[in-house]
Amino acid sequence: MLGRTSGLQRRSGGGKLHAPHAGWDRWRRGVAALYAEEGAFLLAVTLCGMVFGLLVAGQLSPNDRAWVSHALARLIAAASAGQILPSDQLWAHRALADAGLIALIWAFGLSLLCNPGVVAVVFLRAFGTGFAVGFAVLTWGWRGLILAGTVILLHQALALLALLAAGVSAMRFSAAFLRRSQLRSFPRALTGYTCMLGACAAWMAASAAWQAYVAPFVLSALWGRG
């Protein structure tokens, strides 16, 4: 009888020891599910933006297409002749622009307009990507397809990955910020949130190097000899 009682006590004590671990696992799975849900939502927004951009590129009037083609032809001619900014300056401009976009998402995370603001930023970036890809392919055929695959899509895929991570982090932080009880330590949570978006900005800056250093070479290779 004493042995059975001690065995029950050991099992009961073991359950108490494992209870915090079980609670941590449930919390971790819940957070992962929420991140997956919001990530899937922003991914759907990205796909909608790209499709819409493709459709708009295909519906341009002849006059609008001719105007855009003329502007891009001048850019391509300048790139082929080496008359554009050096690659390091192009990278700096692109990295600063992307950092400003991440800073805007960071600010959305501290406001009531986080969700619509993040959705708008992601949709517009995806729309621009879809429009650029569609216009390049429809205007320049196989050359546009190579340009879209090697420069536009590859760079934007890397940038959109960081943008989606920043958007999900902002939406999660905003939800916790509006319910202060979920933030045990606001300064610590804000620091972690800022570091996360800083990492996203660094990732976008790294992806901008592809556009800055590879795009001029591709343009010269495709159009350098007419």
pLDDT tens sequence across 164-181: 999 999 998 888 877 765
Residue with tokens 């990295």: 95
Does 12 fall in a domain? no
pTM: 0.77
Does 9 fall in a domain? no
d(CA 127, CA 130): 5
- Say if residues 174 and 108 touch (Cβ distance below 8 Å): yes
pLDDT at site 136: 87
Structure letter (DSSP) for residue 111: S
* Residue-number span of the structural domain to which 127 is assigned: 20-223
Average pLDDT of the residues of the chain: 80
Does 108 fall in a domain? yes
Task: Indicate the pLDDT class of residue 183, thresholds 50, 70 and 90.
Answer: low
Does 192 fall in a domain? yes
Indicate the range of 5-14, 63-72, 128-137 predicted with least confidence: 5-14
Does 196 fall in a domain? yes
Cα distances (angstroms) measured from residue 38 to each of 18, 94, 130, 176, 221? 30, 27, 22, 14, 41
Does 160 fall in a domain? yes
Q: What token pair was written down for 25?
A: 């696992």
Does 168 fall in a domain? yes
d(CA 27, CA 40): 20
Of 180, 173, 192, 14, the closest CA to residue 109 belongs to: 173
CB hemisphere CA count around 98 (13 angstroms): 29
Overall average pLDDT of the 45-66 stretch = 90
pLDDT exceeds 50 at position 16: no
Task: Indicate the pLDDT class of residue 98, thresholds 50, 70 and 90.
Answer: very high
Count of domains for the chain? 1
Please enumerate in sequence order all residues whose Cβ is within 8 A of that of 98, keeping only pairs 6 or more positions apart, or say none. 159, 201, 204, 205, 208
Q: Is 82 left (phi over 0), alpha (psi -120 to 50) or beta?
A: left
